[in-house]
Amino acid sequence: MGTMESKELTTEPGGTGNEKEDHIMKTAIFQSGAGILGIGNDLQEAVSSANEFLDGGSQLTAEDMEVVYGGEDHGKCYYAMITPTLAAQVEAQGGDIVYVRSPDNILMTEEEHEAEA
Q: What digits encode the pLDDT tens for the residues 96-114?
A: 999 999 988 899 999 999 9
Q: How far apart are the first and last CA of the chain?
A: 52
Picking from 85, 22, 31, the residue whose alpha carbon sits closest to that of residue 57 is 31
Considering the entire predicted model, what is its pTM?
A: 0.76
Q: For 17-45, what is each residue's pLDDT tens digit?
A: 444 445 689 999 999 988 999 999 999 99
Instruction: Choose between 68 and 18: higher pLDDT.
Output: 68
pLDDT of residue 55: 72
Picking from 73, 55, 67, the residue whose alpha carbon sits closest to that of residue 105 is 67
Distance CA 92, CA 77 (A): 22
